[in-house]
Structure 1
């Protein structure tokens, strides 16, 4: 009995218990409120991640949004490839690098979604011009324009001209839902990576025993131009996209977010079992404060997601101020409605109206 109590009271068992419970919670949220696909009964349990929402912007044209995202994807993958050629597979041990490449994947898929929106709107405009020409040849004075549909207007799938987006863009697709899921994960993980790096990891390494390996990590992985991108400017890249895109805030994205971090936690334990070393000092389950550290890391995910939710509120206020002010103009009102409705949807239960 005493042995069992001693075993249950060990920091390693308690830390792993916290890890298991956080993983089960994330798995439950992911299954109960799926982000990438519909529920088994066909009900919408997440915001309608249509191609229009995934690929367009209330501030930039689809072409501008595509170019911005494509440039970010090239920059991120280019820097990642350069880092890999310089340091080898060693860098893929770290959570930062996992998230850096995940960020590049998001911008790649989001640029693809924007490119599809450019093509769809080009085709729709070509058909509209052809119909207008045909109507003119027949002596009709009525232009052949597409009117906003109830579905398009309600969901925010409206172009800057106030007309409904092409029907091909109003559908939810695996690409659009994946873009939405990846964006919600990245928008939280950049906060986690940056806060943990400079608020926890760097102080622990700088104040701990200065072994050659510790000094190498600090000089080669933290205090470099690449590190400043991966532990600071990464947030700028994601939040620039946040204030430009139409992705809606979705509470249930905390599920995939938790599972993503859980996947790395499993990898970190595999690495420790193989090498006998922990990738990060705060993952060491032999320390007496390990249960608190693991619980704190779990709570950091919720705090980060809460900060993203606050940024969505700021976004809604910015677009709302622009639309209500004297200098709004340029079709702002319907854009404000789209952004505000997205923020409101995320602040609620996350279900489709």
Structure 2
């Protein structure tokens, strides 16, 4: 059967298709329910607008974070361009390119928000160490954000926060699956590991981790709900393509014409938990290790929370 042929009705009426559908439909419904409940919760975590562009290092000017994000965006855009130029838009059938593009969007949006933050920062020159904390508490009121902006971010700021949490889990999933599951079984005449492919499955996590080391962005387990929706969207995308005009699966474990399909789908669903959990642990380790090694330079999570209570 050609990869461009449509899968017949008999294919979709197999018992394992319904089971696999439930495996990703149930988490999707739960995630949507939790997000809806979160929106109604007035005691949600307070995120300040400055968390998105002020570094977590006391003496580090926001311009450094801006330059890093801009450089990461340019580098990722170039690699994505090279991939599409060499292989065509066919590459967007893969979860890797979905995630890589999303990380690029995160850095593009982060660059814009950081640029605006640096502009605000220049209007409040900080010559004394204590003035930084004062700026963090009053920037919203002085720059037309309004008093409520300390509690509620704008659309693009919320969007950036959501993308950040999706990317965190997605890059772990992409790179771990590629290096530990796919690559060991793909080496051969039909596949060759190139420098570009290696970079596509590594720099996404490296760039995002470095951004996490520099920034004050909040990272909680609730972001796992958005990560679930992202992966389920990819599965829906693949199923839709195969229902219309495609029979070739970019990943062998997505194939439904096997009694083992439910186990593969269940395993993929469960592996999301440790992949997201790894990033949670890395963020917690960041706070504990850096606050001990650099107590005068690193702004710990406890200090950030204290500043928010004082605003």
Alignment correspondent of 2:9: none
Q: In the superposition, relative to structure 1, how do residues 226 and 161 fare at CA in structure 2: closer, same or farther (>3 Å)?
A: farther
Quote the Cα distance in structure 2 between the aligned partners of 1:10 and 1:205. Answer: 29
Q: What is the CA-CA distance between 1:203 and the residue it aligns to?
A: 3.4
Quote the Cα distance in structure 2 between the aligned partners of 1:165 and 1:286. Answer: 59
Quote the Cα distance in structure 2 between the aligned partners of 1:337 and 1:312. Answer: 10
Alignment correspondent of 2:186: 205
Quote the Cα distance in structure 1 between the aligned partners of 2:163 and 2:304. Answer: 21
Q: What is the CA-CA distance between 1:146 and the residue it aligns to?
A: 12
Residue 79 of structure 2 contacts residue 200 of structure 2 at CA under 8 Å; is this kept in 1?
Answer: no
Normalised to the residue count of structure 2, the TM-score between the two structures is 0.82
Residue 52 of structure 1 contacts residue 165 of structure 1 at CA under 8 Å; is this kept in 2?
Answer: no
In the alignment, is residue 255 of structure 1 matched against residue 225 of structure 2? Answer: yes
In the alignment, is residue 189 of structure 1 matched against residue 173 of structure 2? Answer: no
| Aligned ranges 1:83-232 → 2 under 5 Å | 83-125=83-125, 159=132, 164=137, 166-167=139-140, 168=143, 171=150, 172-206=153-187, 215=190, 218-219=191-192, 223-232=193-202
Q: In the superposition, relative to structure 1, how do residues 313 and 235 fare at CA in structure 2: closer, same or farther (>3 Å)?
A: same
3-state SS of paired residue (2:56): coil
Moved more, 18-27 or 289-298: 18-27
3-state SS of paired residue (1:301): helix
Q: In the superposition, relative to structure 1, how do residues 165 and 68 fare at CA in structure 2: closer, same or farther (>3 Å)?
A: farther
Residue 70 of structure 1 contacts residue 111 of structure 1 at CA under 8 Å; is this kept in 2?
Answer: yes
Q: In the superposition, relative to structure 1, how do residues 283 and 302 fare at CA in structure 2: closer, same or farther (>3 Å)?
A: same
Q: In the superposition, relative to structure 1, how do residues 104 and 201 fare at CA in structure 2: closer, same or farther (>3 Å)?
A: same
Normalised to the residue count of structure 1, the TM-score between the two structures is 0.73
Q: What is the CA-CA distance between 1:147 and the residue it aligns to?
A: 7.8
Q: In the superposition, relative to structure 1, how do residues 314 and 341 fare at CA in structure 2: closer, same or farther (>3 Å)?
A: farther
Would you say how many aligned residue pairs link Structure 1 and Structure 2?
286
Give ranges in structure 2 of 5+ residues lacking alignment: 1-11
Structure whose alpha-carbon radius of gyration is higher: 1
Residue 124 of structure 2 contacts residue 135 of structure 2 at CA under 8 Å; is this kept in 1?
Answer: no
Give ranges in structure 1 of 5+ residues lacking alignment: 1-6, 34-38, 130-144, 149-158, 346-352
Greater relative contact order, per chain length (Cα 8 Å cut-off, separation 6+)? 2
Residue 30 of structure 1 contacts residue 253 of structure 1 at CA under 8 Å; is this kept in 2?
Answer: no
In the alignment, is residue 266 of structure 1 matched against residue 239 of structure 2? Answer: no
| Aligned ranges 1:233-252 → 2 under 5 Å | 233-252=203-222
Q: In the superposition, relative to structure 1, how do residues 244 and 68 fare at CA in structure 2: closer, same or farther (>3 Å)?
A: same
Quote the Cα distance in structure 2 between the aligned partners of 1:339 and 1:163. Answer: 12
